[in-house]
A = this chain, B = another copy of it.
Amino acid sequence: MVEIVVLRLGHRPERDARVTTHVGLTARALGASGMLLASDDKSVADSIERVDKSWGSGFWVKTEVSYRSEMRKWKESGGIVVHLTMYGINMPDCIDALRKELAEKKVMVVVGAEKVPGDVYQMADYNVAVGNQPHSEIAALALFLDWLQEGREFKKEFNDGELKIVPSEHGKSVQKK
């Protein structure tokens, strides 16, 4: 992958604030470089950017985007759009082909809330189901990013933050830098 960006659709301020914050933090922790948010909810962007400042990486959030124009521009510039939906092709049945296709391309991963407009299914290059069962766009995003990168995302270093965890068997240890 050259780059991973997440596009979050259908965010309703207040109702979805925490779930969208989890989407952004998951994207950041698992190697995406930023999140596009089809809503003007600055509070979500602020929380994610606060975490990023403390823990490092330079993850960005851009609000008030138009999903149609972002998906179109992404495809026009040679990127691939993958929409995660329970109605799509089950991940174990398409991940090998996707890994091959995405090896030298940038990928936009689209995750929706409850209702996703019909044109998203058409505009996406791939509609991928992380299991054909209803669960969570946060879980789906995490599993897709992990399968796509085959676990390499856990080796990413976050060196430019103010805080760093020292892994403990039974406690909490945080280093201030």
Chain A contact residues, CB within 8 Å of chain B: 15-16, 18-19, 22-23, 25-26, 28-30, 51, 55, 85-93, 121-122, 124, 126-127, 129, 131-136, 138-143, 146, 151, 153-155, 158, 164-165, 167-174
Contact = CB atoms under 8 A, between A and B. Distances in A.
Given A25-B134, A167-B132, A154 B19 contact: no
In the complex this chain forms, how many copies of it are found? 2
A142 B134 contact: no
Given A133-B55, A136-B142, A146-B146, A167 B26 contact: no
A121 B170 contact: yes
Q: Which 6 A-B pairs have the closest CB atoms?
A: A139-B142, A22-B136, A29-B135, A132-B165, A26-B139, A29-B133
Given A30-B139, A91-B154, 18 more contacts: A18-B19, A19-B19, A22-B135, A23-B136, A25-B134, A25-B136, A28-B133, A29-B139, A86-B165, A87-B168, A87-B171, A88-B168, A90-B154, A92-B151, A124-B170, A138-B138, A139-B139, A140-B142
A52 to B, nearest CB: 10
A113 to B, nearest CB: 10
A147 to B, nearest CB: 8
